[in-house]
Amino acid sequence: MPSPPPLPTRPPPSEAALRALVNEARQLEVEDILELCYAFHHDKWRLYAYLEALRQKGGLKSQAAACLICFDLGKKGDSRFQDEFITLVPVMRDYCDMPRGTDGRRPIERLIGDDDYLGALFHDLEHRLAALDPRLSEGSFEEPTLEDVAPAELDLFDDEDQWDSELYELLEQTDERLESEWSRALDRFLGVGMADVNDNDFGFLAHSRAGLGRVERLRDDATSLRTSVRGAEAMLPLTELFLATNLRATNLFGRRNRARDRILKDGLEHFSALTLPPADMVSWLTAPTASEHAWEKVAELMLDYVSFLFTVSKKQLKGTDATALADAYVRAPRPQPPEARLKKKVEGRRRRA
């Protein structure tokens, strides 16, 4: 028996019709708007219109209802609303944490009512919120705000300039100052002389938000000094690869974490550009200045990268620079984080998916 012909695709409503729907919905209570969203077979155009109406109403309850719709649209694969929802997570958390009323229910539970679809949607949302990394700052749960600071390069001399003795002495003093600045950065990283540092904050431990921020700060310091200080040049890729191992490979919606990809790419590129092996800095990724498996996780990333390079033909490698290779690795459909090659089974090991 032949299959029935597909139903014709419904054209989108006119802009005037959507505007009229938004204006009409704005007159309703938040609970009524949310109920109407899912009363018409989840029509995406109605979701868009009611979402806009909720945004215009203002108030925490309206924002929470808008968050639920953004989450639903994000789950359906709309990347615009995935990005928007991630920025709204703090609003959703605030509303979920509000105290229970005299009826024993939280405001969020009264908002979704007895609707089965909304109940299942919120249950999924709560599960994902509980899995977020508590170390990352509000509003950047899957993608922490790590600024890419490009080092300033000043072309002070051309080939015809003569270096007199006074100028050479000045440059020597500058080198000493930069080395001292790097030493202070390392002391700050280890919490030397700082009263607000606990055992979980210093070095490559990053068990807390403060600890993770300390690694980010060292990365910024190494970026600014890498062209002048050998130790900073060697430390930079190690901080970036360490950060990559401490960020989930996917975000709340299962999409690749772009911040992790960017940091991983930078780390591999900077490591490949080193003029000497970072032997004097690798020890920082072992106890007592790092968590138990810090170096192991970084080494697994590097081993996976080397394994990837063996899959690239010699023809492809010819003329290919470190930037292009690192970018190709990040874009490749390889499992992230990579397979635990060094130790298949380690009890108590924390690996971030």
- Please tell me the predicted confidence (pLDDT) of residue 195: 64
| CA angle centred on 52, ends 51 and 54, rounded to 5° | 65
pLDDT tens per residue, range 312-327: 765 555 556 888 888 8
Over residues 1-11, the mean pLDDT reads 52
| CA angle centred on 273, ends 271 and 278, rounded to 5° | 50
- Please tell me the predicted confidence (pLDDT) of residue 145: 38
Higher-pLDDT residue of 140 and 98 is 98
In this structure, are residues 250 and 257 in contact, taking their beta carbons and an 8 Å threshold?
yes
Beta bridge partners of residue 256, listed in sequence order: 250
pLDDT tens per residue, range 214-223: 899 999 999 9
Over residues 124-139, the mean pLDDT reads 71
- Please tell me the predicted confidence (pLDDT) of residue 10: 59
Q: State the average pLDDT for the chain.
A: 78
Q: What is the 3-state secondary structure (H, E, C) of the chain?
A: CCCCCCCCCCCCCCHHHHHHHHHHHCCCCHHHHHHHHCCCCCCHHHHHHHHHHHHHHCCHHHHHHHHHHHHHHHHCCCHHHHHHHHHHHHHHHHHHCCCCCCCCCCHHHHHHCCCHHHHHHHHHHHHHHHCCCCCCCCCCCCCCCCCCCCCCCCCCCCCCCCCCHHHHHHHHHHHHHHHHHHHHHHHHHHCCCCCCCCCCCCCECCCCHHHHHHHHHHHHHHHHHCCCCHHHHHHHHHHHHHHHHCCCCECCCCCECHHHHHHHHHHHHHHHCCCCCCHHHHHHHCCCCECCCHHHHHHHHHHHHHHHHHCCCHHHHCCCCHHHHHHHHHHCCCCCCCCCCCCCCCCCCCCCC
In this structure, are residues 108 and 89 in contact, taking their beta carbons and an 8 Å threshold?
no
- Please tell me the predicted confidence (pLDDT) of residue 3: 52
Stretch among 26-30, 159-163, 226-230, 294-298 having the lowest mean pLDDT = 159-163
Identify the CA nearest to 257 among candidates 88, 136, 118, 162. 136
Say if residue 301's pLDDT is above 90: yes
In this structure, are residues 214 and 201 in contact, taking their beta carbons and an 8 Å threshold?
yes
Say if residue 41's pLDDT is above 70: no
Question: How many Cβ atoms are within 10 Å of 344's Cβ, its own excluded?
Answer: 7
Say if residue 4's pLDDT is above 70: no
